[in-house]
Amino acid sequence: MSVVASTAQIMPLVRMAAASGVNVDDVMRSVGLSVARLETERRIELADYFRLQHQISAALDDETLHLSSRQLLPGTTDFVMERLRNATTLHDAMKILAQSYNLLHGGEFNSVRRRGDLMSLIIDDRRFPYASTDNPEFLRFSLECVQIFVHCMLAIVSRPHAQAGLRRLQVTRAGRSDESAHLDFWRTPIRFGAPVYSLDYDYEIATSRIDPPRIETLNAAHVYSEIVSAAASPRRAGRGGETSDFVRQMLARGVIDQTRIAAHSGTSVATLRRRLEAEGASFRDLRREVLNEAAQRLLKRNNSIADVAEELGFSDFRAFNRAFKAWNGVTPKAYASQVARKAD
């Protein structure tokens, strides 16, 4: 069975995004969801939640999803993953990751400690500068998702050490409930009621030498693909949705050339096309979908057309103008004017 998440846990993020000016309906559609579905269903697949999280973070230009009073700009995960390339053991990777996020967040919130035969990556959020603490349950859910994200970062860098070495998860919630279905992601014992969050790995495995990671995997797109692959149902995994997710994520990061995306995925263009076709998708359609959503979002924020064209990776203004008109039936200038009239 697939891992699921409670929709009650997800709605605070959706409401916050809407209050911040994100077109929630468009974002939901991009990942196959809708607000109505979240309001009527009790649970959705955890893989869908992470797809939604990734799109909302891009729309907010904040990888903390406005949870922190200290914004982390898009590209933060790529920066941390790049630093992890120098790790020679899982333990090294844990220390680099903890140090990197401490610097980015401006405090000693992460640490790595040996406890007997365990090497633990600890997340202590008791003094973290949250933007709001009005919803403790949502904060618990968010930190438990951070643990999933961090573990998958380590898994990419130290395969198979992180997967084989994980011995225990520690969380602060009191125990299992209807709001903790997402914890089924883990196939390891969970300690509830802990004072801090912790990922506990076997000491010997954590200090064993690892093979250097593939450079093309050291980015946020691969982290999200790792999570989706691990959390998806056998049915979805059999469809091969991971390749489409990866292409969308690379496009959202501004890599719009098919050859470059294939290189990042470690495959040829022909193999990338075959995998997309097996999922019922095409590179052209995904490119149009992702770039059009980004273009509309940037134009609504009053960015100049030239700046939008440059940010989306188009060779020049004219190429962007032709593409946008083909996608929407109007030029970028006409679209921006329509948006301005509606705002008035």
Q: Tokens 């590209």 belong to which residue?
A: 75
Quote the number of domains for the chain.
2
Q: For the chain, give the percent of residues with pLDDT over 70.
A: 97
| 199 & 61 share domain | yes
**245 in a structural domain:** no
| 195 & 302 share domain | no
Q: Which residue has the higher pLDDT, 90 or 177?
A: 90
pLDDT of 256:
83
Which residue stretches of 61-119 are H helix?
76-83, 90-105
Owning domain of residue 76: 4-206
Residue 79 pLDDT more than 60?
A: yes
Domain endpoint, select from 184, 206, 228: 206
**128 in a structural domain:** yes
Strands 190-191 and 166-170: parallel
Q: Is residue 242 very low, low, confident or very high in pLDDT (cuts 50, 70, 90)?
A: low
Residue 122's alpha-carbon distances to 11, 182, 310, in angstroms, are 27, 20, 40
Residue 92 pLDDT more than 80?
A: yes
pLDDT of 1:
58
Domain endpoint, select from 182, 206, 230: 206
| 153 & 292 share domain | no
Tokens of 272: 């990338």
CATH number of the CATH domain containing 313: 1.10.10.60
CA 227 – CA 245 distance, rounded (Å): 11
**278 in a structural domain:** no
CA 184 – CA 41 distance, rounded (Å): 19
- Report which secondary-structure segment, H or E, holds 339: helix 332-343
Residue 342 pLDDT more than 50?
A: yes
- Report which secondary-structure segment, H or E, holds 273: helix 269-278
Residue 230 pLDDT more than 90?
A: no
Specify whether the CB–CB gap between 170 and 98 falls below 8 A: no
Specify whether the CB–CB gap between 191 and 160 falls below 8 A: no
- Burial call 121-135: b when 16+ CB within 10 Å, e when fewer: bbbbbeebebeeeee
Residue 236 pLDDT more than 70?
A: no
Tokens of 26: 């468009």
Identify the weakest region by mean pLDDT among 106-115, 241-250, 259-268, 325-334: 241-250
Q: Which residue has the higher pLDDT, 343 or 113?
A: 113
Q: Is residue 239 very low, low, confident or very high in pLDDT (cuts 50, 70, 90)?
A: very low
**9 in a structural domain:** yes
- pTM for this prediction: 0.76
Domain endpoint, select from 174, 206, 238: 206
**213 in a structural domain:** no
| 143 & 8 share domain | yes
Q: Is residue 77 very low, low, confident or very high in pLDDT (cuts 50, 70, 90)?
A: very high
Q: Which residues fall within 8 angstroms of residue 64, CB to CB, at 6 or more apart? A: 57, 70, 71, 72
Length of the chain: 344
pLDDT of 241:
59
- Burial call 64-97: b when 16+ CB within 10 Å, e when fewer: bbbbbeeebebebbbebbeebeebebbbbbbbbb
Residue 235 pLDDT more than 60?
A: no
**276 in a structural domain:** no
Residue 49's alpha-carbon distances to 3, 175, 187, 291, in angstroms, are 11, 22, 19, 21
| 158 & 15 share domain | yes
Residue 324 pLDDT more than 70?
A: yes
**279 in a structural domain:** no
Give the amino acid at 185.
Answer: F
Q: Which residue has the higher pLDDT, 49 or 239?
A: 49
Average pLDDT over residues 161-181: 92
**260 in a structural domain:** no
